[in-house]
């Protein structure tokens, strides 16, 4: 039994959009913050573009890249917490409004740049493919 292409597209769009919304808002302490619109609305726009232009593979790679950035930020703040305040605990990064806003916008920027780079690479490969 094969799965129709439209169903694969719908599932891919839902998964990528959810991954962007969760990863992009991970630094926000308040889930009702207006900054949640950056990954949710922006992620929806990018995923919609990828679906319309048949670039779901590229957006998948970009989402993976964004999650690598989330991992790097998480490990980095853990190291800073361990080194900067070995006797006590510093507030989580999300506790600082400026850092949370910069991090949210920064993670979205990582997504946009990665998506553009993967699309550019894909276009170059298809242009140089003789077949």
Per the structure, the complete domain to which residue 114 belongs is given by: 5-128
Of the segments 67-71, 81-85, 90-94, which one has the largest average pLDDT value?
67-71
User: How confident is the model over 84-102, as a mean pLDDT?
Assistant: 69
CB burial readout 64-99, b (16+ within 10 A) else e? ebbbebbeebeeebeeebeeeeeeeeeeebbeeeeb
Q: How many CB atoms lie within 10 A of CB 31?
A: 7
Q: How many CB atoms lie within 10 A of CB 115?
A: 23
pLDDT of residue 45: 97
User: How confident is the model over 4-27, as a mean pLDDT?
Assistant: 93
Name the domain count of the chain: 1
Candidate from 10-19, 67-76, 111-120 with smallest mean pLDDT: 67-76
């Amino acid at each position: 039994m094969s799965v129709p292409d439209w169903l694969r597209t719908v599932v891919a769009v839902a998964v990528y959009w959810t991954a962007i919304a969760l990863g992009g808002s991970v630094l926000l302490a308040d889930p009702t913050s207006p900054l949640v619109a950056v990954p949710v609305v922006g992620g929806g726009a990018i995923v919609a573009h990828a679906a319309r232009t048949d670039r779901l593979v590229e957006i998948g790679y970009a989402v993976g890249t964004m999650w690598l950035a989330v991992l790097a930020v998480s490990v980095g703040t853990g190291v800073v917490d361990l080194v900067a305040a070995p006797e006590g605990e510093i507030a989580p990064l999300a506790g600082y409004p400026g850092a949370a806003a910069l991090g949210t916008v920064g993670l979205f920027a990582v997504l946009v740049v990665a998506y553009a780079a993967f699309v550019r690479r894909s276009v170059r490969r298809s242009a140089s493919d003789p077949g």
